[in-house]
């Protein structure tokens, strides 16, 4: 399984990097929207919505929202959505503590999870485009944000495997440990400092970037756990079967959806 996961990652990573670095933001936006819509399709399934026409209709509504958000990109709505996205992931920590909440397959719980999906996807979409469209080096800052999440994932895997004893959330994701979280913090902060330095950040900005990286990684962990909670409630192993060894698109993007609004808002506040 590790070999399969590694080979899939080696194939996907260059494609993701090229999709970030090459297109201008106006072209990157629809590419991101397609990816987000594919993740939303899996989210609706985990939420308990089985009716395919209704799920397709929700994707159509989401597409219209993405277009509207792009049209309103120069307004105060974007920073407000970033704040709302960060607030959602703080609130999600309470849901993780009470992990049985909304577990029953009722209509009310299904609708609650569908509504939660809006706070997962739309602030992340705005955050991603905020970073990508920033000057200078917005494309590279976008790549750095993803590299922080990817490095955290790798750091968590190896530190958790060799040092992990105390479980982080055994009722939600038994494989995650506190040692893995600490390893993720270290790996994410190192990548952020090196990447920030290469992009011209100096002095206090580098220190702020290291702190932001830790907060970004913390959000990515929460995002991963929320998706694990959703899968527990839905009684499935993966959100989909798109990537061999990796599951569905949501399995690969859950951390990114949580991390991006935090990084985008922090970058704005730091003036980077």
CA–CA dist 74, 179 (Å, integer): 42
Burial 183-213 (b: 16+ CB within 10 A, else e): bbbbbbbebbbebbeebebeeebeebbbebb
The reported pLDDT for the residue numbered 240 is 72
Name the phi and psi angles at 50, rounded to 5.
-105, -20
The reported pLDDT for the residue numbered 250 is 87
Per-residue pLDDT of the chain (272 residues; tens, 9 = 90+): 555 666 666 777 888 899 999 999 999 999 999 999 999 999 999 999 999 999 999 999 999 999 999 999 989 999 999 999 999 999 999 999 999 999 999 999 999 999 999 999 999 999 999 999 999 999 999 999 999 999 999 999 889 888 878 999 988 988 899 999 999 999 999 999 999 999 999 999 999 999 999 999 999 999 999 999 999 999 888 777 765 555 678 888 889 999 999 999 999 999 99
Nearest CA to 148 out of 61, 23, 259, 14 is that of 259
Helix 2-21, helix 25-47: angle, nearest 10: 140
Q: What's the pTM value of the predicted model, to 2 decimals?
A: 0.94
Q: Give the distance from CA 59 to its chain's centroid.
A: 19
Largest CA distance in the chain: 54
The reported pLDDT for the residue numbered 246 is 57
Q: Say if CB 255 and CB 149 are below 8 A apart.
A: yes
**Cα→Cα distances 214→86, 89, 217, Å:** 14, 15, 5
**Lookup result for tokens 């397609």:** 34
Q: Helices in 98-137 by DSSP H: which ranges?
A: 107-132
């Amino acid at each position: 399984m590790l070999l399969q996961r590694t080979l899939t990652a080696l194939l996907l990573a260059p494609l993701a990097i090229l999709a970030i670095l090459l297109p201008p933001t106006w072209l990157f936006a629809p590419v991101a929207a397609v990816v987000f819509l594919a993740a939303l399709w899996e989210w609706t399934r985990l939420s308990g919505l089985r009716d395919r026409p209704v799920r397709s209709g929700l994707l159509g509504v989401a597409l219209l929202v993405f277009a509207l958000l792009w049209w309103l990109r120069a307004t105060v709505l974007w920073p407000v959505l970033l704040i709302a996205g960060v607030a959602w992931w703080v609130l999600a920590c309470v849901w993780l503590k009470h992990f049985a909440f909304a577990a029953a397959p009722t209509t009310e719980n299904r609708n609650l999870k569908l509504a939660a999906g809006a706070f997962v996807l739309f602030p992340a979409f705005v955050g991603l485009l905020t970073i990508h469209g920033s000057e200078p080096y917005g494309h590279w800052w976008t790549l750095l944000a993803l590299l922080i999440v990817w490095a955290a994932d790798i750091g968590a895997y190896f530190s958790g495997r060799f040092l992990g004893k105390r479980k982080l959330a055994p009722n939600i994701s038994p494989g995650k440990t506190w040692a893995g979280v600490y390893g993720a913090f270290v790996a994410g902060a190192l990548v952020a400092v090196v990447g920030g330095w290469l992009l011209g950040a100096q002095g206090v900005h580098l220190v702020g970037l290291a702190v932001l990286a830790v907060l970004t990684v913390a959000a990515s962990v929460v995002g991963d756990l929320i998706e694990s909670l959703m899968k527990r409630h839905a009684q499935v192993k993966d959100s989909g079967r798109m990537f061999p060894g990796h599951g569905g698109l949501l399995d690969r993007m859950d951390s990114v959806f949580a991390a991006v609004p935090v990084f985008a808002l922090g970058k704005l506040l730091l003036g980077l």
